[in-house]
Structure 1
Amino acid sequence: MKKYNWGMIGTGWIAHEMADALNAVNGEVYAVADVNEEMLEKFAKEKHITYTFTNPDEMIADPNIDIIYIATPHTFHYEYIKKALNANKHVFAEKAMTVNARQFDEVEKLAKEKGLILTEGFTLYHMPIYQKVLNLIKSGKLGKIKMIQVNFGSLKDYDPKNRFFNKDLAGGALLDIGGYATAFARTFLDEAPESILTTVKFFETGVDEQSGIILKNTQDQMVVMALSMRAKQPKRGVVSGTKGYVEINQYPRATTAEITYTASTHEETHETMTAGNNDDALKYEVQDMQRYIEQGHDDGQLQMSHDIAHILTSVRTSWGMKYPFD
């Protein structure tokens, strides 16, 4: 496999994890950009990165860079993705890739026109356990999938000034953690939902603090989601079929799936499947991204992200919640 040079935009906590993953998989990180020079130099020294840029546009223009990784707040993703694609760079953007479906459709179209890989940083796309569960479902052992339940609750400190609650930075539970729940649900649906019911409780800043969301597609498969930003919930997903169900805990970086077979009305049988390593989640992302480039397609991940972006925008539209830049 060719050696790929990654350029990173942003030096927050997830960028720290990604830099470690890149160093482990590729042996180095080629470059990093951040407008905060002090944070930039500290990050570059800690992660052994040679090339640093206080202007991300200059890094994007570097002809030696193959892949741009974007780990800024949500609101900056769209512009950086466009700039990177127009510079003929492949792009790996943290979730949410864009703040709305309109932006997503634009960058998706641009990536396809240029023949470039554009991928969103949902770790569950890349955890090995999911392929095992999908193969189990494909085998028919769980019967027809009928219902998916998924929770994600985070307990953020009460701070109206924090980015999690800041409308100008696309705050709220839906974009921060709801994407993961939606990605989990979409993974196991046979097709995208066409019906959405939802209700929301807003935080004082006008972003969504907690919500309930029900999705249904034309095959009558249903999803029930519960999201919260000020109340902890287990990161738990359940996929239920006519012959059994699968429970996946800590689903964003899951390594274990508990299967219960219910075809018999008199007794249940249980099975545990394991695959992958939680600590290697971002290494799997790096390896898959580079594999997508090698093979010339992304195994359908951009289409999954397309569906997720449209679901999230439809939910917000139902709430009447708009960001200043919508």
Structure 2
Amino acid sequence: MRELKWATLGCGVIANQLEQALERNGRKLYSVANRTHAKGVAFAEKYGIGKVYDEIDDVFADPDVDVIYISTPHNTHIGFLRKALAAGKHVLCEKSITLNSDELDEAIALAEANHVLLAEAMTLYHMPLYRELDRIIAGGELGKVKLIQMNFGSYKEYDMANRFFNRNLAGGAMLDIGVYALSCMRWFMSSKPDRIVSQVKAAPTGVDEQAGILLTNPDGQMATITLSLHAKQPKRGTIAFENGYVEIYDYPRGERATIHDTTGAVVREVEAGDTANALAYEVADMEAAIAAFEAGESGEIPADEAAAKVEGLLHLGYTRDVMDMMTEIRRDQWHMTYPEEE
């Protein structure tokens, strides 16, 4: 597998974790793009990265860049995605990947037209714990999934200029933390929910501060999700099966789960992966997906085999399902929109 050159677009917390993940494998980011050039320079100096662009858009024209990691605010994603994908760059984009389904459909079409890969940086899709749980579930001992409960509550101070509550920065619980809960739910559901009811409490700025969501799919599996930006909840998921249930702790970057029988007794503890390596798992899967994609493009392996490998690593289908659900709930049910959607 050839060594890919990664560029970061944005140099906040996630960009720091990305560089640290690469360094664990003896590598470095190739380049840095940031709206504020001085911050980009400071980031590059911190890690000894050799290239910082004078203008943020210069990253798209750099022929040496293979993959761009976008970690800017939600409402800037589609603008950068248009430029990166049109320039023929593979993209790993922070969640939420776009504001709504229309934007995501556009980005996917651009990726396909320009023969590159697009993926959302949804950490849980890459954590070894979920693959181990899949293996256990496939063994049949737990039976079929019946009910799922996902909680995610953060306590954020009431600062309405903060990005969490700021409508002009695409704030709100759904895009910031709801995306994790829905993604985890989708991982365990056999199909996308087609019936959704919800309630919401708005923050003074008009974005969603707190919500309760009930979802049912065509197979009769049900899920409940509770979200809050102003009330702490544990990041805990419970998946109830016919023959027991699984509890996952700190599920966005989960490394530990407990399997219980129908009496509630613990059957076994499951541990896999390391939360600290979450970005490293993402990078590894993205690079493996690019290798499979390029093998399919060159004819080295059949195109359908390549596509299956890519989907099994990046789960863009789940990303699309989750974005459809978030759009229906936020825009169609709650009638909450952002300036970019008006």
- TM-score, L = length of structure 1: 0.96
Name 2:98's counterpart in structure 1: 98
The residue type equivalent to 1:271 in the other structure is R
The answer (yes or no) to whether the contact 1:35–1:54 under 8 Å persists in 2 is no
Shift of 1:77: 0.6
Paired residue for 1:290, among 279, 287, 290? Answer: 287
Q: Distance in 2 between matches of 1:187 and 1:2?
A: 30
Name 1:20's counterpart in structure 2: 20
The answer (yes or no) to whether the contact 1:33–1:56 under 8 Å persists in 2 is yes
Shift of 1:40: 1.1
The residue type equivalent to 2:284 in the other structure is Q
Mapping of residues 194-209 of structure 1, within 5 Å: 194-209=194-209
**Helix, strand or coil: the match of 2:25?**
helix
Q: Distance in 2 between matches of 1:301 and 1:171?
A: 25
1:168 aligns with 2:168: yes
**Helix, strand or coil: the match of 1:147?**
strand
Mapping of residues 1-326 of structure 1, within 5 Å: 1-25=1-25, 27-262=27-262, 268-296=265-293, 297-299=310-312, 301-316=315-330, 317-326=332-341
Q: Distance in 2 between matches of 1:56 and 1:303?
A: 30
Deviations 1:116-165 (A, max 9, x none): 21111111010000001111111111111011000001111210111111
Structure 1 stretches of 4+ moved >6 Å: none
Q: Distance in 2 between matches of 1:73 and 1:26?
A: 29
Deviations 1:86-135 (A, max 9, x none): 11110000000000110001111221233321111111010000001111
Q: Aligned in 2, Cα 1:24/1:219: closer, same or farther, shift over 3 Å?
A: same
The residue type equivalent to 1:77 in the other structure is H
Q: Distance in 2 between matches of 1:223 and 1:106?
A: 29
- Cα RMSD between the aligned structures? 1.2
The answer (yes or no) to whether the contact 2:258–2:266 under 8 Å persists in 1 is no
Count of aligned pairs? 323
Name 2:299's counterpart in structure 1: none
The residue type equivalent to 1:284 in the other structure is Y
Larger CA deviation: 108-117 vs 272-281: 108-117
The answer (yes or no) to whether the contact 1:25–1:287 under 8 Å persists in 2 is no
**Helix, strand or coil: the match of 1:163?**
coil
Q: Distance in 2 between matches of 1:39 and 1:49?
A: 13
- TM-score, L = length of structure 2: 0.92
Q: Distance in 2 between matches of 1:55 and 1:304?
A: 34
The answer (yes or no) to whether the contact 1:254–1:278 under 8 Å persists in 2 is yes
The residue type equivalent to 2:64 in the other structure is N
The residue type equivalent to 1:231 in the other structure is A
